[in-house]
Amino acid sequence: MLTVSGYRPLRGYHGRMQAHEVMRAIVIGSVLIVLGLIPGLFQRLKEGVQSLSESFRSPFFPVGLSYKTDHEKHSRPTWLALLGLAMILLSLFSYFSNL
């Protein structure tokens, strides 16, 4: 079955969000909100990923990466919280508009 534009629709996709997709968006959006609102959590997560990547480096590679780890007060990444809120609202809007 071809559509007007000549492309076949994706198999299993019916043009509307299903409940498990909405729940996935709500969980991911909630994680982004938590990362954006708890002070220092995003910075600690970033430093943990950097130290983990340093532990997997080869000892034969002489050039080391240097990350500045200043532990002074950083502002909260509120853009993460706003992104999480937008993700939740858009997924709920998309789900309820196609009922």
Position 37 in a domain: yes
Position 7 in a domain: no
- Degrees to nearest 5, angle at CA 92 with 87 and 98: 130
Decide: 89 and 25 in contact? Cβ < 8 Å. Answer: no
Position 29 in a domain: yes
Domain count, the chain: 1
pLDDT at 26: 94
The torsion angle over the Cα atoms of residues 37, 41, 47 and 52, rounded to 10 degrees, is: -120
Would you place residue 30 in the very low, low, confident or very high pLDDT band (cuts 50, 70, 90)? very high
Q: What share of the chain is helix, strand, coil (3-state, %, to 5)?
A: 55, 0, 45
Position 67 in a domain: no
Phi, psi of 18 (to 5 degrees): -100, 170
Position 1 in a domain: no
pLDDT at 88: 94
Position 11 in a domain: no
Written as one letter, the residue type at 99 is: L
Distance (Å, rounded) from C-alpha 85 to C-alpha 37? 12
Q: Give the residue, 2 or 13, on which the prediction is more confident.
A: 13
Residue 36 structural domain: 17-53+75-99
Written as one letter, the residue type at 86 is: A
- Tell me the whole-structure pTM to 2 decimals: 0.64
Decide: 30 and 89 in contact? Cβ < 8 Å. Answer: no
